[in-house]
Amino acid sequence: MKQSIQYGKSIIDFDLEYADRKTLGIKVFPDKKVEVIAPFDATEEKIMEKVKQKAAWIQKQQEFFLSFHPLTPPRNYVSGETYLYLGRQYRLKLVESNEACVKMVRGFIFIHCNDKTDKSKIKAQLDNWYKEKAEIHFPQLFSKWLPITKSFYPSEVDLKYRWMKKRWGSCDDKGQITLNIELIKSPKKCIEYVIVHEFCHLAFLNHSKAFYDLLEKHFPTWRETKNYLEHFMV
């Protein structure tokens, strides 16, 4: 059951379920979805009150996940559609050709393919092109910011990238940073923000005040960059 509460200026939506339990349980998922599981005998009024009490905590949990919302409408992979690359819009142009390749020329992304109606093949070509671009830009930006880690993480830091559904990046306790290839569609500033964000996780594997202090120190404009990434990347 879909429900929502007003908390300050924001609305928190949640899925409400009932189960054989004594207390109210709240779960927050990486895609920011909230699930509330209530005891069978809980009244709606009581549930709303409880969720409201936990609102600050819920928002903090949602904030915890470096969120990634694919706002992009479904793509048809036809000429004329626009696609993002490093924060700029490019128009897609399909060209019938026996030699498959992707080229970027003045505001256009040209895809040469032997069948202009084969959407999955065109998607694969474009995704592969994005991946190649990520392979060029991610290591450069990674190296640019790597020196900041020396003061709080003396060991080696490793960079990987792959397509991820729910996150812009991740970091583990072994110094492994993974970036979402999808990031290549956003401005370089955003890619740098995610890299610095993940670097700060090498010092703190959480979103504590200490984590944000460190982020603020190295990337003072993180708020607006994060905001851009979360709201304007379409």
Q: Which is nearer to Zn ion, 196 or 233 (CB)?
A: 196
> Comparing C-alpha atoms, which of 220, 211, 166 is closest to residue 193?
220
> Comparing C-alpha atoms, which of 178, 153, 180 is closest to residue 166?
180
Interacting span for Zn ion (CB under 5 A) from 27-35, 65-73, 80-88, 150-158: 65-73
- Secondary structure of residue 73 in the 3-state scheme: coil
The CA distance from 224 to 117, in Å, is: 40
Shortest distance (Å) from residue 205 CB to Zn ion: 9
> Comparing C-alpha atoms, which of 81, 175, 168 is closest to residue 119?
81
Rounded to the nearest 10 degrees, what angle do helices 44-53 and 55-64 cross at? 60
Among 24, 47, 51, 66, binds Zn ion (CB under 5 A): 66
Q: Which is nearer to Zn ion, 42 or 66 (CB)?
A: 66
Shortest distance (Å) from residue 66 CB to Zn ion: 4
Shortest distance (Å) from residue 207 CB to Zn ion: 6
**CA distances to 23, 37, 38, 42, 170 from 45, in Å:** 15, 14, 12, 8, 39
Q: Are 91 and 105 in contact (CB under 8 A)?
A: no
Shortest distance (Å) from residue 115 CB to Zn ion: 42
Shortest distance (Å) from residue 229 CB to Zn ion: 12
Question: Which residue's beta carbon is nearest to the bound Zn ion?
Answer: 66
24: which 2 tokens? 């109210």
Binding-site size, Zn ion (CB under 5 A): 1
Give me the 23-62 binding string for Zn ion, x by CB under 5 A, dash otherwise.
----------------------------------------
Q: Which is nearer to Zn ion, 5 or 200 (CB)?
A: 200
**Which residues lie near Zn ion (CB under 5 A)?**
66
